[in-house]
Amino acid sequence: MMPYIPPRVDLFAILILLGIVQGCLLCFFFFSNSKGDQFPNRFQGGALLVITLVMTDVWLGYTNYMMKVLWLNDFTEPCNLCIGPFFYLYVRSGLRHRFHKREWLHFLPAILYFAYMCVMVYPQPISSKYHDFRSAFHPELPALDYEWYGEGWMFWPKRLIKEFTGASLLLYMVLSWREVILEFRRRGWKLWSAHEGRIAWYRDLLVHMTMIVGVFFTILLTFPRDLGDHIVVAHMAFVIYATSFTILRESRIFRHEPPAAETRKYEKSSLTPDIESRTLEKLRALFQEEKPYLDPLCSLPGLAARLHVSTHHLSQVLNDTLGQNFFEFLATYRIDEAKQLLADPAMDHVRIEEIAERVGYSSKSAFNGAFKRLSGQTPSAYRSASRSA
Digit-coded pLDDT (tens) for 130-170: 888 888 888 888 888 877 888 888 999 998 999 999 999 99
Task: List pLDDT tens digits, range 256-291.
Answer: 444 444 444 444 455 677 778 888 889 999 998 889
CA–CA gap between residue 216 and residue 162 (Å, rounded) = 9
39, 59: one domain: yes
CA–CA gap between residue 319 and residue 271 (Å, rounded) = 12
CA–CA gap between residue 237 and residue 231 (Å, rounded) = 10
Q: How many CB atoms lie within 10 A of CB 175?
A: 17
Map residue 92 onto helix, strand or coil.
Answer: helix
Residue 186 included in any domain? yes
pTM of this prediction? 0.66
Domain end, chosen from 234, 252, 270, is at 252
Residue 85 included in any domain? yes
Residue 1 included in any domain? no
Residue 350 included in any domain? yes
Residue 140 included in any domain? yes
Q: What is the mean pLDDT of the chain?
A: 85
Exposed/middle/buried for 293, CB within 10 Å: 0-12, 13-18, 19+? buried
Nearest to 77 by CA among 60, 57, 59, 94: 57
Residue 299 included in any domain? yes
161, 264: one domain: no
CA–CA gap between residue 261 and residue 253 (Å, rounded) = 17
Exposed/middle/buried for 268, CB within 10 Å: 0-12, 13-18, 19+? exposed
So what's the pLDDT on residue 43? 92
What domain range includes position 21? 11-252
151, 293: one domain: no
CA–CA gap between residue 354 and residue 346 (Å, rounded) = 14
Most confident option among 139-148, 180-189, 320-329, 371-380: 371-380
Q: What is the mean pLDDT of residues 82-104?
A: 88
202, 271: one domain: no
Q: What is the mean pLDDT of residues 118-137?
A: 89
Residue 2 included in any domain? no
307, 340: one domain: yes
